[in-house]
Amino acid sequence: MQPTIEFHLQLPNSGQRELLKGFLLLKQEPNNRAGIKLQATSGCSGYQYSGSWKLKGRGPLPPSRAIEPLTYSVSTQRLWLPHVRGVEGSFYAIAPFSVKVDEGKSRGDFGIHFDANVPGSAGCIVFPLQDHWDVFRSFIANCAHKNVQQVPLNVMYTVPIQARAA
């Protein structure tokens, strides 16, 4: 078993009022194109646009290409954070703890959790739907049961194709 996780979100060129939703793709093997697709998001509404991952406390998780040669991984060991606003329960840490995103700027303390109380996140990947969160927790528990300590995570953002004027 060599599980992997992909996070996909379409980021426009400027901020939007509504919270944009993407998806997390859970794969049992890295070469599989198919996987379990779950609704997820990252960042706060108004701060989900191309380049906004540089904004501490508001922007989404930086894309994998922005932190190269480092790579992300998700711990299969659950942290219990019931008193942290927005998390209020299980939290799965994303390594590395901190990444450089620009000259002199770094972001960190990322994880994956249920989107409790506060819509969106300050850089974590969050699940707005309870049943999708339950599927993710089951996937991670299965990985841990098979002695997988860390699951590779690839974070990918796309920019929507602008409609051409007629």
* pLDDT tens, position by position, 72-121: 999 999 999 888 887 888 999 999 999 998 888 899 999 999 998 778 99
Total domains present in the chain: 1
Any domain includes 39: yes
Asked whether the beta carbons of 30 and 4 are under 8 A apart, the reply is yes
| Residue 51: predicted pLDDT | 92
| Residue 56: predicted pLDDT | 92
Any domain includes 117: yes
**How big, in percent rounded to 5, are the helix, strand and coil portions of the chain?**
15, 35, 50
The residues pairing with 7 across neighbouring beta strands, listed in sequence order, are: 24, 155
Q: How long is the chain?
A: 166
Listed as own residue / partner, the contacts of 15-19 with beta carbons closer than 8 Å and 24 or more positions apart are 15/45, 15/46, 15/47, 15/48, 15/49, 15/52, 16/45, 16/46, 16/48, 16/49, 17/45, 17/46, 18/45, 19/44, 19/45, 19/48, 19/119, 19/120
Any domain includes 148: yes
Any domain includes 165: no
Say what the pTM is: 0.91
**Burial grade of 157 (CB within 10 A; 0-12, 13-18, 19 or more):** buried
53-68 per-residue burial string, b: 16 or more CB within 10 A, e: under 16: bebeebbbbbbbebbe
Any domain includes 163: no
| Residue 124: predicted pLDDT | 95
Taking only the tens place, the pLDDT of each residue in 51-79 is 999 999 999 999 999 999 999 999 999 99
| Residue 31: predicted pLDDT | 78
Average confidence (pLDDT) over 41-52? 94
Asked whether the beta carbons of 137 and 131 are under 8 A apart, the reply is no
Any domain includes 127: yes
- Boundaries of domain holding 87: 4-158
